[in-house]
Amino acid sequence: MKAELVKRFEDEISQLKRELNNELPKEIKRARELGDLRENAEYQAAKERQSFVQARLAMLHKRVAELSLMNLDRIPNDKVAFGSKVHLREAGGVKVVYQLVMPEDADPEKGWISTASPIGRALVGKEEGDEVEVPTPNGTREFELVKLVTIHGE
């Protein structure tokens, strides 16, 4: 999982660098040629995109550095932690599967939840068979941890 994240981040870094170094300078140059920069929406949009890309690149580089420092040996083999895939049974028998990921990778539609989310925080440190209560804005949700696959098991 760590390698997958680093690869995905590096792919995005490569794409953003190409945009920052090749495409955006052309857009900015073309927009400058249109005249008055104070009222030039294309120029303003290109400059805003350039700022966004630079900020995103900085964040991605920081994330890659953090991941490279992450010691997978410190992640427990039998408790929920980063990278774990958890199979839960909700009150009423509904089964759900989540994988605990970093906040920027969270995608509830894919079943990826952040370790910082209410459900993620409630699950961290739990073991198979544990019951978990999660306070949410819509009321408390109750789960039973039916199956756990840690980052080591994949």
pLDDT at 97: 93
Q: Are the CB atoms for 151 and 100 separated by under 8 Å? A: no
The single-letter code of the amino acid at 149 is: V
Instruction: Compare 66 and 24 and report the one with higher pLDDT.
Output: 24
Q: What is the 3-state secondary structure (H, E, C) of 26-83?
A: HHHHHHHCCCCHHHCHHHHHHHHHHHHHHHHHHHHHHHHHHHHHCCHHHCCCCCCCCC
Reported as a single tens digit per residue, the pLDDT across 83-125 is 889 999 987 889 999 998 888 788 889 999 998 899 999 999 9
| Topology given in CATH for the domain delimited by 2-70 | Helix Hairpins (1.10.287)
Of 114, 115, 9, 7, the C-alpha closest to 58 is: 9
pLDDT, mean of residues 128-132: 91
* Residue boundaries of the structural domains of the chain: 2-70, 75-153
Q: Do domains 2-70 and 75-153 have the same CATH topology?
A: no
Give domain 75-153's CATH number out of 3.10.50.30, 3.30.70.2740, 1.10.10.10, 3.50.50.60: 3.10.50.30
Least confident of 25-29, 33-37, 70-74, 99-103: 70-74
Given a cut of 80, whether residue 80 has pLDDT beyond it is yes
